[in-house]
A and B are shown apart, each in its own frame.
Chain A
Amino acid sequence: MGMPVSSSPSPLLELRGLSKRFGTVQALDGFGLDVQPGEFVTVVGPSGCGKSTLFNIVAGLDEPDDGGILRFKGRGCHAKELLGQVSFMPQRDLLLPWRNVVDNAILANEIEGASRREARAKALAMLPEFGLAGFETQYPHQLSGGMRQRVALMRTFLFERELMLLDEPFGALDALTRSMMQRWLLDVWQRHRRTILFITHDVDEAIFLGDRVVVMTARPGAVKLMRAVNLPRPRAPDLLTSPEFTAIKREVLDAIEEEAMKSFISGTAAPP
C-alpha cells in the first residue's frame, strides 16, 4: 500500500481487504481504500486487474468474498444494501434505444418512483449544462458517441447520490473530445459537489482529474500506489506540461509499468 493520504474522521466509503474470486480467477485480493466526502479519486491499472469488479461490488451488484470489510457512510454493510444507494455509470453508455435523450436521462429517477413530469422538467433544465440543449427529443441512434456519453453522465448525475462510480466514461472518445469532456466534468463536479470514483486507462486523465490517484496491481487487483495530486483547481490544460504534473506522472507511470510488465509476462508465460 502507498502512504495514507488523508485521515479525516469519517470517510464516505471504506474498503478493507476486499477479495473476489470467479472460479479459478482471483480478480481482487485484499483491496483497501478510503474515500472522503467530496473527493475525486481516480483508479488506474492494467486491463483485467479487477477495476470493474471493484465497481460492481461498490455498486451492490456483486458480493465480495468473505473476510473483506465494506463500510458506507460509517456503517458496515453487505454489497447488496448499496443497490440504489450509489450512482453507477458502467463502461458502456447502455442507453435505451426506445427512449429519447430526456427519458434516458431520467431512467433512474423513474425507477426511484419520482414523478415523470418533474423529473423531465429537471432534466430539461440540465440539458445546456451537459451540452445537449435542443437534443431532448433525439434518440440514441441519432447521437454521436460523445453525446451519448454525456446523456449517460447526465443520467448518473440526475440520480442524486453522494457517491458516483464512473467506469472509463471517456474511454471510447477521441483525444480532442476527451480533453474537452474532462474539463467539463471537473466543472460539473465542482458545481454539484459529489464524491467521485473514476476508472481510467489514461494516466494523464487520472492525474488531471483526481485529488488522488490509485494505481492497482496486476490481477489479483490490490492497491499498488496511492498518490495525492496536490495541484490547484480549477485545472487548465496547460497543467499537463507543468513540472509538478510531470513529476507525479513519472511516479505513477513507473508503478503502472511494473504492473503491466507483470501481467504481460504472466499472460504470455502461463495461464492465470
Chain B
Amino acid sequence: MNATAAVRGAVGAVLILALWETLARGLALPAYTLPAVSQILAAVAEHRSVLQAAALVTGFEALTGYVIGALAGIGVATLLILARPLRAGALPLLLAINSVPVVAWSPLVLLWFGMGVASKIVMVALAVGFTVFLSALAGFDRVDRRSVDLMRSFGAGRFGIFWRLRLPAALPLIAAGLRVATVRSLIVAIVTEMLGAYGGLGWIIYQSVTLIDFVQVWAAILVASMLSLAFFGLVGALERRLIFWR
C-alpha cells in the first residue's frame, strides 16, 4: 500500500514537471514568470557548491532550532502537567504569545540576536516550540480518566502516571506535531534569512531577486523544498516505527 502511494506520488510529480516544462518552453515564458524545469536544474548543477553551502547553513539553523524547540515544547508541557498550579498562570500567557504570528517577532529577534545563525535558530525554536508544546499538552490531557484512576489504585503518584501513561498516550499527537514542525522549521529559517542574514537559502533567494536572477531564485526554492521533503519524510518514517500501536 505504501509502495503504491509512493509510485503514484512519483508519477504525479513527473507529470507536473513535464507539463511545467512544456508550458514554459511552448509559451516561451520569460524567466521572471516561470523558467523551464530544465533551466532550473541546470542552474542547480551550475551553482552546486554555493547552493550546497547555503543548504548546509539553512539546514543547520532549522535542525538546531527544531531540536531546541521540540525539547522546550515537550518540556514546558510536561512542567505544566506536573505542576498544576503553574498551568493556570502560564497557559494564558503562552497562548497570548502564540496568537501573534511567529514571523512578527523576527525584527526584534534580529535586533537581539544579530544577523547570524543565532537569530534564525531562535525563530525556528519559537515556531517549532509552540507547535510541539500545543500538541504535547493536548496529548497529555487526552488520557482516559479511568486509566489514571487505575494507575492511582495501583499506588502510582503523579510522576509515575506521567511516565507510564500520559507520555506514551501523548506520543501520537506529539509525533504529529513534530512532523508538522519539520516543514515549519525550514520555512521560518528561510523567511528569517530573507529579512537579514549572511548566508543560507533565504539569503540566496533575496540576493538573486535584487540581482534579477530568477532562475537562481527557483534553484534555491527547489533545494529548499528537497530539504523540507527529506526532513518531513525522515520524521514521518520515525513516527511510523515508534508508534506501532495505532
Contacts and interface: CB of A to CB of B under 8 A. Distances in A.
Q: Decide whether A and B assemble into one complex.
A: yes
A194 to B, nearest CB: 16
B155 A94 contact: no
A126 interface: no
Given A90-B146, A141-B245, A96 B165 contact: yes
B160 interface: yes
A92 B146 CA distance: 9
A190 to B, nearest CB: 25
Given A96-B168, A111-B156, A90 B149 contact: yes
Interface in B93-151: 144, 146-147, 149-151
Majority DSSP secondary structure for residues of B touching A: helix
A69 B156 CA distance: 25
A108 B154 contact: yes
B174 to A, nearest CB: 13
A86 B146 CA distance: 16
A84 B155 contact: yes
Given A96-B168, A141-B245, A112 B154 contact: yes
Contacts of B155: 83-85, 108, 111-112
A107 B154 CA distance: 9
A210 B26 CA distance: 87
B152 interface: yes
A139 interface: yes
A159 B153 CA distance: 11
Contacts of B149: 56, 59, 61, 90
Interface residues of B, number: 18
B164 interface: yes
Contacts of B144: 94
Most buried by A among B144, B153, B156, B160: B153
A60 interface: yes
Interface in A88-132: 88, 90, 92, 94, 96-98, 107-108, 110-112
A94 B150 contact: yes
Most buried by A among B146, B149, B164: B149
Given A96-B165, A110-B164, A111-B160, A84 B153 contact: yes
Contacts of B164: 96, 107, 110-111
Interface string A127-170: 00000000000011100000000000000000100000000000
A70 to B, nearest CB: 15
14 contacts: A59-B153, A61-B153, A84-B154, A84-B155, A86-B153, A88-B154, A92-B146, A94-B144, A94-B150, A98-B245, A107-B164, A110-B164, A111-B151, A111-B155
Interface of B: 144, 146-147, 149-156, 160, 164-165, 168, 171, 244-245
Please give me the 3 A-B residue pairs with the lowest Cβ-Cβ distance, nearest first: A84-B155, A108-B154, A88-B153
Given A86-B153, A98-B171, 20 more contacts: A61-B153, A84-B153, A84-B155, A85-B155, A88-B150, A90-B150, A94-B144, A94-B147, A96-B168, A97-B245, A98-B245, A107-B151, A107-B164, A108-B154, A110-B164, A111-B160, A111-B164, A112-B154, A139-B245, A140-B245
